[in-house]
Structure formats: structure tokens, C-alpha cells
Amino acid sequence: MPKGDLAVRLTPLAQALADQMQYELVEVCLDREPHGKYLRIYLDKPEGISLDDCEKYHRALMPKVEDYDYDFLEVSSPGVDRPLKSERDFERHLGDEIEIRFYKPVNGKKVLNGILADFKNGVVFAEVAGESLQFDLKQIALIKPVVDMEGVETVDLTEE
């Protein structure tokens, strides 16, 4: 059995399969939890990833990873509010409202909301309360889009 970080070793294999199936590979990670090791694959595509897409990818990936050391394989969407990590993520969200969480307070605040104006060379440019600001990615613990839930239909699951 191969040695080293499983997620790093499996990323090229997962990427090749995602490319072949015309999905975007967002992330491969191995999470150790009380019930075992979860190999998690996050996929996306422009119109959004479906449950059927995840199932097809899961079935295609299973035989390719059966000799690796993990307990559970999960394939899913990263979610609409997934953290921005890659240059592609930043490009996709230009002009969108974002939430920025800092490791240490910046101008007395650990969390700011603003509009993502640009991203270049590891620097985030944002409009915050009418002011143009820039932050080095090294200062940022988390940056993610703000999801507007207004107008989203909800379902009441409580019984009457």
C-alpha cells in the first residue's frame, strides 16, 4: 500500500476522473473522525452538481481507490457558501458579497463583509462600507461568499 498523505496522493487520480466526466474537482480530503477515516471528494460544475452526478463519480472512483486506507468514501457538492481557495473560486465570485474572517483583528475587527472587487497575487481587494481595502491572503483565516436566503422557499418539516 502506498505511503504518504492519502488526499495528496489521490488528487491526481480524482482530477483525471473529474476531467473525464466533465466535473470540476474542488477538493480531496481525508478526515479522521470517531467512526473512521472519511475520504471526501467535492465536485462542482457550472450548473451545479446533482446527486446523480455524485453517484456516477462515486461508482467510477470506487474501483480505483479500493486498495487505499480509508473507511468511507463520500462524494458531494462543496455547497454554495464554500470557502474561496483557488484563483478560479475568486474569479467566479468577483462582484459578489463576501465574508472575510481574519486570524488577528484588522482595524479592530476579526470579521468583515464586503464586495469582492479583485484578487491578484495573493491579495484580496474588497469594497467594505464604501471603502476600497486590500488584504494579504496570509491575514485571512476564511473567506467565503455570503448566501442571500431571501426569496428562497423553505419547507416546514414539523408535523401538525
Q: For residue 94, what are the domain limits?
A: 87-145
Same domain, 70 and 93: no
- Which of 76, 107, 136 is the last residue in one of the domains? 76
Decide: helix, strand or coil at residue 88. Answer: helix
- Which of 76, 96, 123 is the last residue in one of the domains? 76
Measured distance CA(2)–CA(68) in Å, rounded: 8
Between the CA of residue 15 and those of 18, 39, 46, 74, 94, what are the distances in Å?
Answer: 5, 14, 17, 15, 25
Domain membership flag for residue 11: yes
pTM of the model: 0.68
What was the pLDDT predicted at 151?
58
Same domain, 41 and 18: yes
Domain membership flag for residue 95: yes
Same domain, 67 and 124: no
Measured distance CA(119)–CA(122) in Å, rounded: 7
pLDDT tens column, 9-56: 999 999 999 999 999 999 999 999 999 999 999 999 988 899 999 999
What was the pLDDT predicted at 159?
60
Measured distance CA(39)–CA(32) in Å, rounded: 9
Same domain, 65 and 97: no
pLDDT tens column, 135-160: 999 999 999 999 876 655 656 666 65
* Residue 86 pLDDT grade (very low, low, confident, very high; cuts 50, 70, 90): confident
